Amino acid sequence: MVAEDDEKQAELVRRYLEHEGHAVTVVGDGLAALAEVRHREPDLLVLDVMMPRADGLDVVRVLRAERRELPVLMLTARSTEDDLLLGLDLGADDYMTKPYSPRELMARVRTLLRRSRRGTETTASTADQALRCGALVVDPDRHEVSVEGLPVDCTPGEFRILAAMATEPDRVFTRQRLLEELHGFDRYISFRTVDVHIMNLRKKIEPAPRRPIRLLTVFGVGYKLTDPARNAPRAS
């Protein structure tokens, strides 16, 4: 699905997508985008930020509140880092700033669809069982996360990062390695994307996100997932 109020831009994106074999629905405002996603359940949403009736950020906010996990690629004329990070913070999986290359857009679409369709293949070696790191449980088959028995809602990008790290607790994952889990070998995506996903995950799985005990930073290297109970000092 393409949600874009600029008819020329929407037509261009539609033609490129159809040329690659995709069936495409185009809408021109945010409320129509929400209605069509609920009705058609598309595999991916290409979403413009600046739209009438409801902007793209509001659309992402509502979709994630409804626990819809379809990948969302945002298109924005806003180039400031705060605007881009806000979109990721709300649950978008990727973004591109205008003007953009249609060929690059198609590459991003292919990457997101491939990651979405692979689903549990990201953790194929452990697909038959849930991944555990102390009280944190990641279930690739059901695409579910829980902490101390309580469910945790994750965006597709957050889930991929957490599932990858849960396969090897205490291993330090570089930002480059986590970026590959998100977008493959796409040199146009910033490491800052990983940092935002980590920050959002900490809000969801840490008792005190500013003082993480599960999802730790290894300064100068990357991040690791650990069991706080195992690392807690023992009483004498």
- Tens digits of per-residue pLDDT, 134-158? 999 998 877 889 998 899 988 778 8
pLDDT of residue 46: 95
| Lowest-confidence region among 39-48, 80-89, 174-183, 204-213 | 80-89
> How many other C-beta atoms are found inside a 10 Å radius of the C-beta of residue 162?
24
Q: Would you place residue 11 in the very low, low, confident or very high pLDDT band (cuts 50, 70, 90)?
A: very high
Distance between CA atoms of residues 136 and 162, nearest Å: 10
pLDDT of residue 98: 82
Confidence check: pLDDT of 236 > 90: no
At residue 45, the 3 state secondary structure works out as: strand
44 or 104, which is more confident: 44
Percent of the chain with pLDDT over 90: 40
Task: Cis check for the bond before 99: say yes or no (omega within 30 of 0).
Answer: yes
**Mean pLDDT along residues 51-59:** 90
Confidence check: pLDDT of 2 > 90: yes
State the virtual CA torsion across 114, 78, 153, 138 in degrees, nearest 10. 40
Confidence check: pLDDT of 124 > 60: no
Confidence check: pLDDT of 83 > 50: yes
End-to-end CA distance of the chain: 60
Q: Would you place residue 117 in the very low, low, confident or very high pLDDT band (cuts 50, 70, 90)?
A: low
Query: Nearest-CA neighbor of 97 among 52, 132, 60, 50?
Result: 50
